[in-house]
Amino acid sequence: MKINHLGVLTGGGDCPGLNSVIRAVTKTAILKYGMEVIGFIDGFRGLVENNYIQLDLRRVSGIGHTGGTILGTTNRDNPFNFMTMVKGIEQASDQSDRAVSNMRNLGLDGLIVIGGDGSLNIAYKFYQKGVKIVGVPKTIDNDLSATDVTFGFNTAVNTASEALDKLHTTAESHHRVMILEVMGRYAGWIALHAGMSGSADVILIPEIPYNLDAIVAKIAQRFRQGKKFSIIVVAEGAHAAGGEMVVHSLIPESHDPIRLGGIGQKVAQEVEDKLNHIETRVTVLGHLQRGGGPIPYDRILATRYGVAAVEAFMEGKYGTMVSLQGKEITTVDLQEAIKEIRLVPPDSNIVDTARAIGISFGDS
């Protein structure tokens, strides 16, 4: 089947590198294959409401280095559970057939979905309804199991590392414990990489439940050695052994309704209670990790993904996700890509490396 007309959308949280993918998809489709490309506005909402723009070479010019997404995005509008107002009351209904009808009426031959596990789960459901789909792995959390790296992750790590560089000077000046809370949901990749890069003393991640006494012992040991400050990096999903993750809020209409947050403040209070002679301060990076332009690594990776997504369509590889495997970009079944999230193995080489240079994970 000849592919003449592609659609593309960005779903879920924003991420550095989205515009690089959009640019690569559009330029490859037009310049190499003479296709038409349209972009749906605000993710799957645009698909349901038939809200889109024509993507041409002029519209994607100069966007590869910019953050955010020119198409807009949302993590709440699932077409299979779409919230609409009925007689003044918000109700959920399945609008997926409406979305499929819109694509057919537009003459689309396929759809490229740029997203994390939530958006790609939705994409797979559309594939099961007969839509030709190719996914592109996007998340700062780096928690998609079927690819070595997701674009946006390294930029988020860079942002967190820069924050740690700044926290070091104020921590040392005031002899404080400084805690940096970072994103990552249920995976500790950002905290682990940023903590190692930023010379943290303690790194707390969901995969290794912490013991407060071990954290306090590490800080006390540093004081005995004449080091009157400590840096702790906490992943938002970190939790004490036998304890629960700290939930900031619930968004019922979202694919992933749990919003984590607050563990940094919890650890800070516990540390201060144990070591009342040491001041403890918390910095929560939050959405700063999603903002700004992508670093060169992510610009290149996102571009490679965008080109590979178009090539996958031309090769008839529908129902797949483009994936980085070693040095090569390949494709994997979309069903395999969303089967499970990728967590930090507690016995991995990178964790062992961190332990070897004296970083504590709060477990011993």
Check 141, 143, 201, 298 and give the catalytic one: 141
Burial profile 40-76: b = 16 or more Cβ within 10 angstroms, e = fewer: bbbbbbbbbbeebeebeeebbeebbebbbbbbbbbbb
For residue 105, count CB atoms less than 10 angstroms from its CB and return exposed for 0-12, middle for 13-18, buried for 19 or more.
Answer: exposed
What's at 209, amino acid-wise?
P
Distance separating alpha carbons of residues 13 and 25, to the nearest angstrom? 20
Q: H or E segment at 152?
A: none
Quick check: is 273 catalytic? no
Those residues whose C-beta lies under 8 Å from the C-beta of residue 106, and which sit 6 or more positions away, are: 5, 7, 38, 50, 52
Alpha-helix runs per DSSP H in 28-187: 33, 44-49, 96-105, 117-128, 153-174
Distance separating alpha carbons of residues 323 and 138, to the nearest angstrom? 11
Distance separating alpha carbons of residues 202 and 17, to the nearest angstrom? 30
Residue 4 carries which DSSP code? -
Catalytic positions, please? 141
